[in-house]
Structure 1
Amino acid sequence: MVVAARFAFEQVRLHRLQVSIVPRNMASRRVVEKLGMRCEGLAERYLEIDGVWEDHLRYAITVEEWRAAEPDLTALWLG
């Protein structure tokens, strides 16, 4: 994940990464939180999955937040 974020911010030069996760998907939530993404809130009935409109939690990180945290995140993820 940290490699993908590094590519997005350093090569593609995105200003912000955002992901939406079904609240019950705890594994995905732990991954993005470990990456330093912050929860911005709940998007109700955000996406239809198998005929059911599912709420999603919205997580994001900006390039400024990434730059501040990148050395620690790289060490944590890549050793």
Structure 2
Amino acid sequence: MSLHFLYYCSEPTLDVKIAFCQGFDKQVDVSYIAKHYNMSKSKVDNQFYSVEVGDSTFTVLKRYQNLKPIGSGAQGIVW
């Protein structure tokens, strides 16, 4: 299982744009979206690091260092 914690905004925005366009039966220019997504993603990749806890991998902003899990349950992990 891979979870993205405090991940960059381009992924959710991309999903919303595609869902919105498809909802109105309009044609989606996938090449434009893919170029924009890849550019956005590469700009912010250096601001994040990944940490594994159990069977989960979290992608966290670098400003949040030395995180320690303090609890877990059905809804996830508390840092």
Larger radius of gyration: 2
Whichever structure has more strand as a proportion of its residues is: 1
Specify if TM > 0.5: no
| TM-score in terms of structure 1 length | 0.23
TM-score norm. by structure 2 comes to 0.23
